[in-house]
């Protein structure tokens, strides 16, 4: 299991705010992580405190609305996190005369990786989740068994490149929280 980010756990007390606390905490975590599936543990961490404070407040003052408020407290963080994570879905397919180029931005914190192969696999698997087209998905899924990883270190970025027949995957790491992945598939 992945370890939880301590920088996001600092914001956990915001989930104590009645009714809106879990939604606020989920928005903070999804803006940092940018991936709905990876933000789910943080959402589940914020729910109990928000449910408790909302139930106490609602039971004390608005008894007839307790079920509605508790339903809102449970559903709102998931809906808002999913909606915000969809804004970070950015897959571009650019057809060319000789090849198809697929570009995507993958959110990742690569400061915890020391092995470029593990970093490539992590970014590649995250990007593979974003692929909706089954042809590209199966074509890229078979790329794990191909050539060795080539690493280029430049002054301002790191380039990880892997080639498999007519398919080239290139990952550019230029800042600390986002990787740019470009896949070129020739016809």
User: Per residue in 74-126, pLDDT tens?
Assistant: 999 999 999 998 887 777 888 888 888 888 887 776 666 778 888 888 888 87
> 81, 43 in Cβ contact below 8 A?
yes
Q: Are residues 34 and 121 in the same domain?
A: no
Q: Distance between CA atoms of 157 and 14, rounded to whole angstroms?
A: 36
Q: Are residues 47 and 77 in the same domain?
A: yes
Question: Where does residue 94 fall: left (phi above 0), alpha (psi -120 to 50 degrees), or beta otherwise?
Answer: beta
User: Which of 87, 119, 139 marks a domain boundary?
Assistant: 87
Q: Is 65's pLDDT higher than 90? A: no
Q: Distance between CA atoms of 78 and 93, rounded to whole angstroms?
A: 29
pLDDT tens column, 145-161? 677 888 888 888 888 88
Q: Are residues 127 and 56 in the same domain?
A: no
Number of domains, the chain:
2
Q: Look-up: residue for tokens 């430049």?
A: 154
Q: Distance between CA atoms of 168 and 183, rounded to whole angstroms?
A: 6
Select from 117, 116, 122, 30 the least CA-distant residue to 80.
30
Walk across the sheet containing 150-153 and list its strands: 91-95, 99-107, 178-186, 167-173, 158-164, 150-153
Q: Are residues 105 and 174 in the same domain?
A: yes
Query: Is pTM beyond 0.85 here?
Result: no
Q: Is 1's pLDDT higher than 60? A: no
* pLDDT on residue 137: 77
Q: Is 187's pLDDT higher than 80? A: no
Q: What letters, b where the CB count within 10 A reaches 16 and e where it falls short, cover 142-171?
A: ebeeeeebeeeeeeeebebbbbbeebbbbb
Q: Are residues 173 and 116 in the same domain?
A: yes
């Amino acid at each position: 299991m992945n370890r939880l980010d301590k920088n996001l756990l600092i914001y956990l007390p915001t989930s104590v705010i009645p009714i809106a606390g879990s939604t606020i905490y989920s928005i903070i975590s999804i803006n940092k992580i940018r991936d709905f599936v990876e933000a789910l543990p943080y959402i589940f961490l914020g729910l109990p405190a928000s449910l408790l404070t909302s139930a106490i407040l609602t039971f004390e003052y608005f008894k007839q609305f307790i079920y509605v408020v508790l339903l809102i407290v449970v559903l709102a963080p998931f809906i808002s996190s999913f909606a915000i994570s969809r804004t970070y879905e950015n897959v571009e397919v650019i057809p060319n005369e000789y090849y198809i180029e697929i570009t995507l931005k993958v959110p990742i914190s690569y400061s915890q990786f020391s092995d470029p192969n593990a970093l490539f696999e992590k970014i590649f698997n995250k990007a593979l989740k974003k692929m909706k087209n089954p042809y590209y998905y199966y074509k890229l899924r078979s790329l794990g068994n191909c050539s060795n990883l080539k690493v280029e270190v430049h002054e301002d970025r790191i380039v990880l490149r892997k080639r498999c027949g007519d398919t080239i995957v290139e990952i550019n790491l230029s800042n600390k929280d986002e990787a740019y992945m470009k896949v070129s598939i020739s016809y």
